[in-house]
Chain A
Amino acid sequence: MSSSQGSSSSERLSSSGRRVEQHYYESWYVSEAGRGTADGHAWLLDELTQTIERIGFKSIFHAALFFAESSNPRAQRQLTDFAKDGASLASLLKVVSSLRSSVRSEDKEQYNAALCAAARPAYLREWRTFLHGPELRVPMGQFTAQHVESFSIEPLYARLRLHAPSLFALFEGMGHDSAMENPPERSSPTLNETKRRQIRHILMSLSIMGNLRSRQVNFIQGILTYYLYVGRVSKRVVTILNHWGLAVSYTGVHTAVSTMGMYQARNESDCVGAFLRRELQSVGRKGNAFLVVFDNCTASATVRDERLHNKSDFLKYTVGYVLEPSVCRPMFLRSDVNYGNVASLTIKDFIPPDSDTDVLRSVFGHFIANAVSKYCRQRNVGLEKLDFPLPAVDTIDPKLTPKIHVLPTYDLDESLIDDMIEILYRIAGDIGLSETQIKENIVLYAGDYFTTITERYILSAARC
């Protein structure tokens, strides 16, 4: 491009003094049609570079930076227009990022700081969205059993990731490099253990940071603290962990536990306490058959230094539960129990039938083979595999797990008749038995021998 030296006009003088075109295509490049072509672009940029260098700038980029930083309204307008075109801005950032290796080592720190400062608002924006999401905000007073039962890290992570994809990608990258390229998919049903571990750690980290910003971001800490409470971790430990952001306060978890078991919660629809009480009350209301089991619970409340009003005592409580079978059937009627039928009881009803012997032969074979195999295994004896399967006669399906509703503990002694009557009244009240059910139905009660015979004292008196 020797022709470009010293002149910007489209014409030059030849050696013979004749006026000739400096560039044969110049006039076409500057025309409207020529500007749109690649060659035209290149020629124009070349011209622009020459011009910029001529006016004293180091490069076109330095000139653009000077232009962008100036207070010239035209420059500001152009810059705003450029920024509005997000794709161009992203391309610019990409180009700038790709220059990292070319930056001089003494300038690298400045370069990194500038790059991170540019990214910070974007991350902070995502962070704010993340914090305002409802997933991690559960007031401890509204902590429900469903929160725990539906707690699953994978769906929770996927939902939270939608709020802050770049932030999560950053954390995933910090946890594992390859994860940046293949982040956990939302719909993936089987994440391997490493990814699940990564998810747990990221959730915990973000939750701790979220808790720093707002005390209301407490879901993960809440569940963890509840777990600590169940594991009987002391109040002091919980307080220390709370100060580290790993747990909610002891007051918080106490509120959650208390609301769970309260009769009347502040917000009945939300709290677990009301939920558990409602569940218990609904057992009777449903009108289905169920079983009640209870037993005594004795413990000594010792006092190291006894005083006038602080003595050791022996506690006698009653603890029980209600079993609601998974297969429902209506409550039994009084006619389902008929003591008059015992007249037809014969000794045959007690003698083991011959069919039992066949089953017992197989069962005994299984137990003998098991004992011999176990002994040989523990003594390293190379015994062949013994084939004595355990016969199944009438098995219950283990998948049909019943609902167990634990009753409140009653400060009553089942060995005293007055207390036993009170226990039975309270159970009836707690499980919501109606007057009609009390008059017409039968409820099965089970317990140890002593409980059973004490109950029968009362039944016999009631049926006199």
Chain B
Amino acid sequence: MPAITSPLLPRGIFSPQRDANDRRAKARQVECSTNKQLNYIESTSGLFHLEIAVLVMLFRSHAGSEKEHGGLYYWIKVLQRNRNTLWDGGRQLVKDFRACYELFGQILDGYIVGFIAERCGWTAGEINPVLDKATDVEAQIATLAAELADFNETSTRRQQTNAPSRDRLHENMFLFLQHGLILRNFHQAMRHGDIGRLLISFRHMTCWFQGSKQFNYAQETIHLTACLSKIWSSGLKRFMLNNCLVSISGKRDGFYALDELNEYVVREVKNMMVHNATPKTDEHLREVISLQIMFFMRLKIKMAEESDATFIFDYHHQDVDTSADVDLVAKNCLSRKVFTHTSGRDVVKKEVPDLLLNGITELSRTTRLMEYKGKVSAMGIRGVVELQNRADGETQIQNGEEETEEDPDEIQIETALLSGGREDPEESWLDE
């Protein structure tokens, strides 16, 4: 089928759905009375979904393969996780955000512990005695933190070292640490309601997206940066920043992004759905119960307070002991001397992209930026929509291409999940 071009989508990416949406929106809004026009709305995307997109980007960048050391697929295998419950290999998307984030965090912790153990003089055996006897742990941490905060480190090394003497394994690990810590800072800043730290991570992520194949978020982060720096007045910017994170409990580490809180509301509304719904009960849910979701939450808290049983809210805050996994990752890396740059080591073929450098390079070409400026200053929100349309199309094509390129053998079918965890012994009759 030949590519159909549309005046709305100049690069030839045509989506019947997007085009229909656009025409329908025009039909509904252009000729309606002024009090029905919806141009009083200023729309912005939430930070929680942005974090999910960043995690997807990091999974794509650090995926590697099961056979090569250091990639996420490798660690998923070593740590005996189920890849199919974590990651959609076909669409290249995170299936379970929290599980993926925790896995990422455990590998990150493993790298950190291994790195510090190596700096404290580990040579062989267990890590515990090394850390037990170490006297300069604080100094080693400060040095490592300073090294990791130097984002030119890997690119400089890559430029200076010629191909045969490179150590991709070490470079990839170093980038993993940097990316993981930036993501953790973003996550923790959201929890602590620290807008300053959040924006620091956001600036890095904006650059990361520019060099990635997630064109939709590349465009969206450009627009969000433009809103914060140019489009919105200082009052509007401050209002948005002060309210993009919400603490409903009043706790210092109890902040949620706006869209994350909405996911809570969605979950609670779903919880109140009944299995034997009728049109009447359905209306009751939508019109009566939904309004009270936050009231229900307050009631639960109030009853716990009056019963002196507030500890019930801490049941799910028990820390899981992850030291076994962290130890496994750290020792695995230490035994392979991953934390030391070894010239000429050629155990890893695939190079993890330096997302920050690639992003800045992409931005420096100024094509995307100039196009954004030109369209948006001339057409306003219409320009944003046009660019967004194109970015969406490109992202879909990218995902589609990756899907067709995916080796079907790479995706393991989790039969245990489908059959209830155990092979049916009665199935042997099929072979007869």
Q: Which residues of A contact B (CB under 8 A)?
A: 145, 148-149, 151-153, 193, 196-197, 200, 223, 226-227, 230-232, 257-258, 260-263, 272-273, 276-277, 280, 289, 291, 293-295, 297, 299, 301-302, 317, 319-321, 323, 325, 327, 329, 332, 334-345, 347, 349-352, 356-357, 359-365, 367-369, 371-372, 374-376, 378-384, 386-388, 390-396, 398-399, 401-402, 404-411, 417-418, 421, 424-425, 433, 435, 437-439, 441-449, 451-464
Contacts and interface: CB of A to CB of B under 8 A. Distances in A.
Interface stretch (B73-81, B166-174, B260-268, B413-421): B260-268
B141 A339 contact: no
B326 A299 contact: no
7 contacts: A291-B243, A323-B243, A357-B149, A365-B145, A371-B113, A392-B196, A396-B242
A360 B298 CA distance: 37
B250 A418 contact: no
Contact of B39 (A341, A433, A463): A463
Contacts of A231: 300
Contacts of B108: 371
Interface string B290-318: 11111110111011001110000000000
A425 B29 CA distance: 12
Contact of B300 (A227, A352, A363, A460): A227
Given A152-B306, A336-B233, A345-B373, A424 B184 contact: no
B128 A448 contact: no
B381 A421 contact: no
Given A341-B230, A357-B150, A369-B138, 10 more contacts: A273-B291, A291-B243, A297-B266, A317-B286, A323-B258, A350-B222, A417-B25, A444-B42, A460-B384, A464-B382
B200 A360 contact: yes
B207 interface: yes
A342 B376 contact: yes
B22 A461 contact: yes
Given A301-B277, A396-B195, A406-B292, A352 B109 contact: no
Interface in B111-169: 112-113, 116, 127-128, 131-132, 137-138, 141-142, 144-146, 148-151
B377 A378 contact: no
Closest 10 CB pairs of A and B: A393-B196, A261-B288, A394-B196, A378-B323, A365-B145, A461-B25, A409-B286, A462-B39, A396-B193, A364-B145
A273 B291 CA distance: 9
Contacts of A336: 232-233, 235-236
B1 to A, nearest CB: 24
Given A352-B204, A456-B381, A293 B255 contact: no
B226 A345 contact: yes
Nearest to A224: B303
From A361, A454, A456, residue with most partner B Cβ within 10 Å:
A456
A421 to B, nearest CB: 5
Nearest to B126: A379
Contacts of A460: 25, 380-382, 384-385
B42 A445 contact: yes
A350 B21 contact: no
Contacts of B200: 352, 356, 359-360, 363, 393
A454 B207 CA distance: 25
Interface of B: 20-22, 24-26, 28-30, 34-46, 49, 53, 108-109, 112-113, 116, 127-128, 131-132, 137-138, 141-142, 144-146, 148-151, 181-182, 184-185, 188, 192-197, 199-200, 203-204, 206-207, 210, 216-217, 220, 222, 225-226, 229-233, 235-236, 239-252, 254-255, 258-259, 261-263, 265-266, 269-273, 275, 277, 282, 284-296, 298-300, 302-303, 306-308, 321-323, 326-327, 360, 363-364, 366, 369, 372-373, 376-377, 380-385, 388, 392
Contact of A367 (B28, B185, B263, B306): B185
B134 to A, nearest CB: 8
A375 B109 contact: yes
Contacts of A394: 194-197, 199, 241
Contacts of A320: 262, 265
Given A261-B292, A359-B200, A372-B116, A196 B259 contact: no
